[in-house]
Amino acid sequence: MPGFLRVLKFGAENFWRNIWLSVATTLIMVVTLFIITTIVILNLLANVAVDQVQKKVDLTVYFKTTAQEDRILEVRSQVQNLNNVETVRFVSKDDALAQFKKAHQDDELILKSLEELDENPLEASLVVKAIRTEDYEGISDFLSSDRFSDVIGKVDFQENKDVIDRLVRIANTIRKGGLAVGGAFVVIAILVVFNTVRLAIYTHKEEIGIMKLVGATNWFIRGPFLLEGVFYGIIGAAITLAMLYPILNAANPKITAFFDGQSFDMVQFFSQNLLWIAGGMVALGILLGIISSSIAVGRYLRK
């Protein structure tokens, strides 16, 4: 045990002895971790957005006003039997009228003109929810086929599809762009830590020579430099975490507003998953640090 503490001490000394270099290196680590975290958050938000829109998506089948009820029920049962359909809700002509009246209850003119008509002008409809968004196309094709053309007036899906496609595209762009930017910063961080550790090895050449001469074990010689890399990771992760909370707090109202107040609270999400997020960030920091210092140690302390 005195061994480990001593290696820890030497590692900390490496860190302090060249404090400005260490600060700069830690900052690069912070920037990298921050960017990666931001990308993860953006990804998360994009997924939430896609999810929420997808939940709102449905496919509506409007029956012709002339359609007979038994035909309508037959179509309903056929749609229900499709295995990619989650739910089917039937909206009768009366229901549709009630809904329409409710939606326009403040509009005298429309209500009056409705009363002028002898019969209910609205169509009965089926509201279909698919299990997956990709399935709507198939369901739509199925319902648009000739065998239902006598009863079905219109299959309404296209408009929603565009919105979803656009959202999925945005989410994909964020993911791809994020991967590229994140990857670039990972490489930068590894190079910077590598260079710092290399410099530390260089300035400790004499000590290293003496250590080898008197029979210090490899762990004693390499450990401090590996730990130096780990320090950059841990300190970088700690600073990033400390920065993240105020920023999230400031951004949270805007995020909530963006989602129409639909029960997505970023700060709450982070508080609930703090352990995972902090653990993941520290692990990532340590990983970056240890990869870089291992490369430096492997290259410059081989003999």
Partner 1 sequence: MIEVSGVSKDYAKQKVVALDDISFTVNDGEFVTIVGQSGAGKSTLVRLLIAEEKPDKGRIVVNNWDVGLIKKKHIPMFRRQIGVVFQDFKLLEKKTAAENVSFAMEVCGRSRREIREQVPKILDIVNLSKRADLFPHQLSGGEKQRVAIARALIHKPKLLVADEPTGNLDSLNAWEIVQLLLKINELGTTVVMVSHNREIVNAIKRRVITMDEGKIVRNQDSGKYIL
Among 19, 109, 117, 214, binds partner 1 (CB under 8 A): 214
CB of 291 to partner 1, least distance (A): 23
CA distances from 124 to 15, 103, 145, 166, 219 (A): 74, 17, 19, 30, 78
Site string for partner 1, 189-208 (x = CB under 8 A): -----------------xx-
Write the DSSP symbol of residue 260: T
Number of residues that bind partner 1 (CB under 8 A): 17
Nearer to partner 1, 147 or 205 (CB): 205
Among 209, 253, 279, 298, binds partner 1 (CB under 8 A): 209
Write the DSSP symbol of residue 128: E
Site string for partner 1, 149-188 (x = CB under 8 A): ----------------------------------------
- The Cα–Cα gap between 277 and 275 comes to 6
* The two structure tokens encoding residue 189: 């961080």
The reply on whether position 212 binds partner 1 by CB under 8 A is yes
- The Cα–Cα gap between 99 and 38 comes to 43
* The two structure tokens encoding residue 167: 């959202």
CB of 274 to partner 1, least distance (A): 39
| 8 Å CB contact between 152 and 75 | yes
CB of 8 to partner 1, least distance (A): 12
CB of 16 to partner 1, least distance (A): 14
Q: What angle do CA 128, 263, 281 make, to 5 degrees?
A: 115
- The Cα–Cα gap between 145 and 296 comes to 67
Nearer to partner 1, 220 or 269 (CB): 220
Site string for partner 1, 110-129 (x = CB under 8 A): --------------------
Among 19, 117, 213, 257, binds partner 1 (CB under 8 A): 213
Site string for partner 1, 220-259 (x = CB under 8 A): xx--------------------------------------
89: Cβ–Cβ under 8 A, 6 or more apart, which residues? Answer: 126, 127
- The Cα–Cα gap between 35 and 281 comes to 12
* Secondary structure E strands in the chain: 59-63, 85-91, 125-130, 152-156
Among 179, 187, 210, 251, binds partner 1 (CB under 8 A): 210
Contact residues for partner 1, defined by CB under 8 A: 2-3, 6, 206-207, 209-218, 220-221
